[in-house]
Amino acid sequence: MSLYKTFRDPDFSLFQSVVEEVMAESPDAGVSFSPDGEVADPMVAAAISIGDLLENDEPLPEGGGVVSYAGLDLAEAARYCASNAWQLIRAKLRGDQEAVEQLQEELGPFSICDPRWAESVEKYLVKVKLKGKTIPYRTWNKINDYVFNDRLAANARIAIIGDWGTGQPAARAVLRQIVRQQPDIVIHLGDIYYSGTAREMRQNFLEVCRDILPTGTQLYTIPGNHDLYAGGKPFYDMLDEMGQPASFFALRNDNWQFLAMDSSLHDSDTFTVATNVTRLDEREALWHQQKLENNQGRKSVLLSHHQLFTAYGSVGSINKSPQPLNPLLYATFAPYLDKIDLWLWGHEHNLIIFEPYKGLQRGRCVGCSAIPVPQELNPYSTNPRLIDPPRFNNVRLSLDNKGVYNLGYAMIQLDGPSAQVDYYDASQEQHPVFSEMI
Ligand SMILES: [Fe+2]
């Protein structure tokens, strides 16, 4: 049985959204996932297995004119139909009429495929049409736009979750646990899966937060790459509903400033020949720099979806060589690293406490709040292809009895000019796995 799984590919993420939406809206809908995060629906499972093949550059199952279930088990049939639906979408989008006709026949009313696959194809194409060409990003006019000076109490308690937008029972359990610690503010570091459709914004994020957070808890989010794969309009519509004016913002009091950035706007349009690392919008970069330059003695916490650096995968490649450090984010913040007291990011689904690296004292990855990571992925290993990767301390999330890493989050307790930051493994609610004073 496979686990809840997401993929980096924007188009395939949208396909996952559509398959789940069609499945959920059908009259005999069951659940997509069991309470412990295992895939329960055969269509959702089939989509994941196609994603796995695409990710590993392996060939997709070919129907070859399969017309009956004879000789095919149910899961195998679903995989064939998922592969067919995906290929039909690609053929339609590139206008390959011959392939369209053949695939359509194999997916049509006289085929073995559940009609919901054909429905998924149609729904996908509608979503692509509606997607719009540009993300409706909002820039600033005055340098103090999107700065909140009256929302961060001197003794505020701030919970940080990352890569949390699955809507799954495990994600809900993490937020319930956080509520027991009575935060004033909850900040999500982005990624509402699979592709940030209106339905996902509602069901995987806003409604869950409204269900679980007590009235009066402030809630903020910044975009992850997945939030924008459906075009970004649903993400911005949700911000409006939350009363958050933009995808980047600052929370400030006399002693602290939290600068939350949008690292995802350029995540999917940076695929040039030489590099594919993300960067900030140029005007937004100036906005953050101005706040660090004029910190007026405040300590600064940076919040982003993407990593400044990594040891596990890469932040992207330059001339095909995987990079441990994002040179574009680094260029933006390098002059101010001595003024940055803490930088929390997500994107990788893990809890990692890095050693000081390239001038940043405290880089921490907290993208561990919802996605199950099996032990086989070795999330605490270092990619041998990285040159001069960062080191990290010996803090590890624990494994559950099925060999899957437990989830986690961070909790920041301000106390005037100082703060205690606690990092939790959600299976050990009473004691943080790591604490630091800043
Ligand atoms: Fe991400």
Q: How far is the CA of 372 from the centre of ligand 1 (A)?
A: 14
Q: How far is the CA of 80 from the centre of ligand 1 (A)?
A: 28
In the chain, % of residues over pLDDT 70: 95
Q: How far is the CA of 417 from the centre of ligand 1 (A)?
A: 32
83-110 average pLDDT score: 88
Q: How far is the CA of 97 from the centre of ligand 1 (A)?
A: 35
370-394 average pLDDT score: 95
CA 182/CA 417 separation, integer angstroms: 21
Q: How far is the CA of 195 from the centre of ligand 1 (A)?
A: 11
Predicted pLDDT at 1: 62
6-33 average pLDDT score: 86
Q: How far is the CA of 190 from the centre of ligand 1 (A)?
A: 7
List pLDDT tens digits, range 216-229. 999 999 999 999 99
Q: How far is the CA of 24 from the centre of ligand 1 (A)?
A: 24
Q: How far is the CA of 113 from the centre of ligand 1 (A)?
A: 32
Can you read off the two tokens belonging to residue 167?
């809507």
- Of 180, 186, 141, 178, the C-alpha closest to 160 is 186
Task: Please determine, for residue 333, whether its predicted confidence score (pLDDT) is greater than 60.
Answer: yes
Three-state secondary-structure class, residue 203: helix
Q: How far is the CA of 389 from the centre of ligand 1 (A)?
A: 20
* Range list for CATH 3.60.21.10 in the chain: 147-437
Instruction: Write down the architecture of domain 147-437 according to CATH.
Output: 4-Layer Sandwich (3.60)
Task: Please determine, for residue 31, whether its predicted confidence score (pLDDT) is greater than 90.
Answer: no
Q: Are strands 373-374 and 404-405 parallel, antiparallel or unpaired?
A: antiparallel
336-357 average pLDDT score: 97
Q: How far is the CA of 107 from the centre of ligand 1 (A)?
A: 32
Can you read off the two tokens belonging to residue 295?
């910190």
List pLDDT tens digits, range 241-296. 999 999 999 999 999 999 999 999 998 665 555 667 899 999 999 999 999 999 99
CA 185/CA 384 separation, integer angstroms: 39
Task: Please determine, for residue 67, whether its predicted confidence score (pLDDT) is greater than 60.
Answer: no
Write the CB contacts of 235 (distance below 8 Å, at least 6 apart in sequence): 192, 196, 201, 223, 227, 228, 247
Task: Please determine, for residue 72, whether its predicted confidence score (pLDDT) is greater than 70.
Answer: no
Q: How far is the CA of 13 from the centre of ligand 1 (A)?
A: 12
The 10 Å Cβ neighbour count of residue 408 is: 27
Q: How far is the CA of 382 from the centre of ligand 1 (A)?
A: 19
Q: Are 218 and 186 in contact (CB under 8 A)?
A: yes
Three-state secondary-structure class, residue 27: coil
- Positive or negative, the CA dihedral 90, 93, 96, 100 is positive
Predicted pLDDT at 68: 56
CA 375/CA 355 separation, integer angstroms: 23
Q: How far is the CA of 55 from the centre of ligand 1 (A)?
A: 16
Q: How far is the CA of 305 from the centre of ligand 1 (A)?
A: 7
Q: How far is the CA of 163 from the centre of ligand 1 (A)?
A: 7
Write the CB contacts of 228 (distance below 8 Å, at least 6 apart in sequence): 135, 196, 235, 264, 265, 267, 268
Q: How far is the CA of 71 from the centre of ligand 1 (A)?
A: 39
Q: How far is the CA of 11 from the centre of ligand 1 (A)?
A: 14
What predicted TM-score, i.e. pTM, was given to this entire model? 0.94
Q: How far is the CA of 133 from the centre of ligand 1 (A)?
A: 21
Q: How far is the CA of 129 from the centre of ligand 1 (A)?
A: 24
Q: How far is the CA of 267 from the centre of ligand 1 (A)?
A: 9
